[in-house]
Structure 1
Amino acid sequence: MGDSEALDAMREAARLSPGNFPLRRLLADALLAAGKSTEAEAAYQAALLLAPGDPEVIIGLAESFVRQGKSGAALIALESLPTEPRRPARAGIVAAMALLGNGDKAAAAAQYQQAINEDAALADADMAARLGALDTPPTVAHTPPADSQRVRVGGAGAQEDERPEEPILDAQRSHITFVDVAGMEDVKNTLRMKLLLPIQKPELFAAYGKTAGGGLMLYGPPGAGKTHLARATAGELGADFIDVGLADILDMWVGSSERNLHSIFQMARRRTPCVLFFDEVDALASRRSDMRGHSRHVINQFLAELDGVDDRANEGILVLAATNAPWYVDTAFRRPGRFGEMVFVPPPDAKARAAILEILCRGKPTTRLDMNALAAATEGFVGADLEGVLERAIETKLVDSIRAGYPLPLTTDDLLRAIRTVTPTAVREWLLTARNYVLHANESGVWDELLPWLRDVR
């Protein structure tokens, strides 16, 4: 297929999928590379309607202006680039082209030099000669992105030069909300009432003596979306999300694990409101009767941090935990004020599976998919299984697309073929394990929420 035919195919694909941002951007880039600057400008403008502020699209639009001789318009477009995190180095090259078009050679040379200082791969001998700029950039230290601030925590006990490097945590901003979580309306409503609304409507809750913050434990089969739900909780609140793993806490040095845990909570207390998330919490909060020595000290420290040094120490911190094995968690963690409520995250039903597939297919070239047929064919699948199905279907479709030279849309048959290659086992195995615990240890009624799911498990 020639370049012209490939462009025609992409134009048609974009016409059939007007809301497909990646396809719009792919078309715009291809038009720019083909020298069709005017049409590329229109394609970039259409892409910006779908993703306002996207840096690469803005830079592409500016370059299309430059190639049409609209240097002033290019510079105005580049001024709309967000300054945080750092502006892409390629923007400096396009700015240099625009400034050179305006006759400002000195400013153009400065922009070009700064760009190649940041990314030596952008160096262009012809442009450097025109500008009189150097094309051998010095080494520049890398600055981490501003939206993922890395914070050191942990550490005393031995001399600093004797200790291994301290663990590092990322406090991130989540870009997903409950809109991106299919189904689970009861779980989302519980999270809103227990964790989000006390922060969003503090005066109303204060009238009843309730403060913002607290803990909640999510449990259920692996792959059902517990971590995704925790990230969405942070996104719904617009708060920092701190994802804590075992490696961030456990340390070979005596006393250091407890210090690391304390430092993580102190970090969260400085960044309120925030969501502090402990995945696989059963490894940190196991029954103390099963533990000895150092592990018991870590569990006790965890309980102390959840309580805080005073009644308001953890105000504004939403402590979420997730586990596949809640029956291993020490009962002390389920006390009110700690993880006072345990919420079952169930396997998705047919309606939820259809919604998950719709979310997963966003931004991908597709025909009209029969979601009811796909939901019926995925009985027993969790979100992770469905994501795996889509990945298999995409990999197969990419082979065909590479042969064709343009993106081919996914069809219902593509997904059904991928479904037939996947055998989900996580849900049934988990329910069988849960049945062994729940049916013989539910005197307090803590597992009542699980009972309906266990009746037909064999």
Structure 2
Amino acid sequence: MSDESPLIRSLRAAVAAAPEDVPLRLHFTELLLAEGRHDEAVAQAAIALQHAPGDEAVRDLMVRAMQLPPVGPRPPVFDWAAAEQEVAGVVGPRFASGPADAGDPADAGDAVETPLTADGGGDPGDASAWDVDSPGDVRLADVGGMQQVKDRLEAAFLAPMRNPELRKLYGKSLRGGLLLYGPPGCGKTFIARAVAGELGAGFMSVSLSDILDMYIGTSEKNVHAVFEAARRQAPCVVFLDELDALGAKRSRMHHSGLRNVVNQLLTELDGVNAVRNDGVFVLAATNVPWDVDLALRRPGRLDRTLLVLPPDAPARESILRYHLRERPIESVDLGKIVKITEDFSGADLAHLCESAAEYALLDSARSGTVRMIGTKDLLNAAKQIKPSSESWFAAARNVAMFANDGGIYDDLVTYLKKKRKL
């Protein structure tokens, strides 16, 4: 580092001698930013965050070092506790038991994403025409339950980013690919956005409709433009939604255009330009991983898989609370509802709350007297809803039994045996 100024050299030595001195490290980081050394600044800010995780100045400096737009505050949340105290003598408590500690999980079912579009009507093949969203302040803590999923994500992506010195020691690169698979409606999209929030990274959600074009060669240009946009604004999470459509097995394709899209996707994931993917994290989701082209799952690409199952009991309670938070309810026994909704996806639970609200609304309209949503409404709704994951597990069972080559679906086999479905 012969090109360093004497001040930088002296501060580097001072920081090494006093690693817990956060103000000193922040001053050092500011000087690195002034000299345009953003990568080093990110590493220093990450260390400062370890010592002062709640310090707003440190978080702001990390955002500046990553060259991301500042994150705005959460919108104000309605104070239900205060409202309940005001009407305590008129209506009963909202839930039969005390509220859980978990906050709003923001639906652990698949979140609705803003389509990835070219702004201003520009050429979609131009990287500057694609938007990179900010994930806001969504974190994995907002995902109810699913601790095993969180632990795998921590090992695959989050720990290397939070510990730059250990990352360098163990030769861990700032790029990688992970395939999320499982039944529909279980929160794969929301988990991907939460990973981007944990990394302080940009977020791009890409589906087949964003890529496919009627003109020859344009679809491949779109794939390249998406990755170029992510590289320019790294760190960035590229989320490939419904990978079975975007990266289907080429042996089953009769249209050369789709085969070329898969070929271009492989080129972007590795090849001669692989070194340029530092800071680009590729997450993909599919309900049918057995339909994904095998080349996409080779080492260095989407080589790690993570089974995202229907929400467990803590997650189901969090999701139910979230979807009932703005509805008129009284003395709802969530424990009873949680017990009878095993194997329900996040989307199923959202539908359950919607159906219960319909029962209470129809009853109020018929009687002419407005009433609250109660446990009985939710129980009646649960009886009418069949878990959407059942058909998926029926298909997955055959794959686990007869197509588990190389143990790629061992986690699925373990789950099916545990549930006595295999």
1-side partners of 2:125 and 2:232: how far apart? 18
Shift of 1:390: 1.1
C-alpha spacing 1:406/1:176, structure 2 compared with 1 (3 Å): farther
In structure 2, the partner of 1:47 is none
Deviation at 1:396, TM superposition (A): 3.9
Match for 2:323 among 360, 370, 375?
A: 360
Say if 2:196 is the partner of 1:224. Answer: no
Question: Unpaired segments of 5 or more residues in structure 1?
Answer: 1-9, 18-49, 51-144, 157-165
Amino acid at match of 1:382: S
1:59-110 C-alpha deviation (Å, 9 max, x unpaired) = xxxxxxxxxxxxxxxxxxxxxxxxxxxxxxxxxxxxxxxxxxxxxxxxxxxx
Q: Is the 8 A contact 1:174 1:234 kept in 2?
A: no
**Corresponding residue SS for 2:259:** helix
User: How is 1:331-350 mapped onto 2 (pairs within 5 angstroms)?
Assistant: 331-350=294-313
The DSSP-based 3-state class of the residue aligned with 2:310 is: coil
Change in CA separation of 1:16 and 1:416 when aligned onto 2, cut-off 3 Å: farther
On the 8 A contact 1:149/1:170 being kept in 2, the answer is no
Name the counterpart of 1:234: 196
Structure 1 residues 196 and 362, CA, compared in 2 at 3 Å: closer, same or farther?
A: farther
Asked if the contact 1:171–1:240 (Cα under 8 Å) also holds between the matched residues in 2, the reply is yes
**Correspondence 1:42-441 to 2 at 5 A:** 150=119, 152=122, 154-155=124-125, 169=131, 171-292=133-254, 293-307=256-270, 309-398=272-361, 409-424=372-387, 426-441=388-403
d(CA) in 2 for partners of 1:211, 1:315? 7
Instruction: Give the number of aligned pairs.
Output: 312
Q: For residue 154 of structure 1, what is the amino acid of its counterpart?
A: P
- Is 1:149–1:171's contact at 8 Å kept on the other side of the alignment? no
Greater relative contact order structure (CA < 8 Å, 6+ sep)? 2
Per the TM alignment, residue 170 of structure 1 is displaced from its structure 2 partner at its CA by 5.7
> Which structure's CA Rg is the greater one?
1
Distance 1:284 1:194 in 2: 23
Aligned equivalent of 1:53: none
Decide whether the 8 Å contact of 2:177 with 2:281 is kept in 1. Answer: yes
Q: Matched residues in 2 for 1:218 and 1:314: separation?
A: 20
User: What's the counterpart of residue 421 of structure 2?
Assistant: 457
Distance 1:219 1:307 in 2: 22
SS of 1:322 mapped into structure 2: strand
Equivalent residue letter for 1:272? A
Partners of 2:130 and 2:229 within 8 A in 1: no
1:205 CA drift (Å): 0.8
Query: Per-residue displacement from partner, 1:301-328 (whole Å, max 9, x unpaired)?
Result: 0011111643431111111100010011
Instruction: Provide TM-score, normalisation by structure 1.
Output: 0.61
CA contact (8 A) 1:285 1:330 kept: yes
Q: 1:312 to 1:367 in 2, by over 3 A?
A: farther
Flag the 1:212–1:153 CA change in 2: closer, same or farther, 3 A: farther
Query: Deviation per CA, 1:147-186, whole angstroms, max 9, x where unpaired?
Result: x994755238xxxxxxxxx986562434432122122111
> Secondary structure, in 3 states, of the residue corresponding to 1:346?
coil
> In 1, distance between residues paired with 2:369 and 2:197?
35
Shift of 1:196: 1.9
Residues in 1 aligned to 2:83 and 2:274: alpha-carbon distance in whole angstroms = 62
**Residue-by-residue CA offset, 1:8-50 (whole Å, 9 max, x unaligned):** xx99646358xxxxxxxxxxxxxxxxxxxxxxxxxxxxxxxx9
Secondary structure of 2:148's counterpart equals helix
Residues 243-290 of structure 1: CA distance to partner in whole angstroms, max 9, x if unpaired?
111111011111110000000111111121121111110112122222
Q: Distance in 2 between matches of 1:16 and 1:308?
A: 64
Q: 1:364 to 1:174 in 2, by over 3 A?
A: farther
Deviation at 1:329, TM superposition (A): 1.1
One-letter amino acid matched to 1:278: L
CA RMSD in angstroms comes to 3.3
Is the partner of 1:313 in helix, strand or coil? Answer: helix
Per the alignment, in what secondary structure is the counterpart of residue 210 of structure 1?
Answer: coil
Give the distance between the partners of 2:369 and 2:129, measured in 1 at CA.
45
**Shift of residue 298, structure 1, vs aligned partner:** 1.1
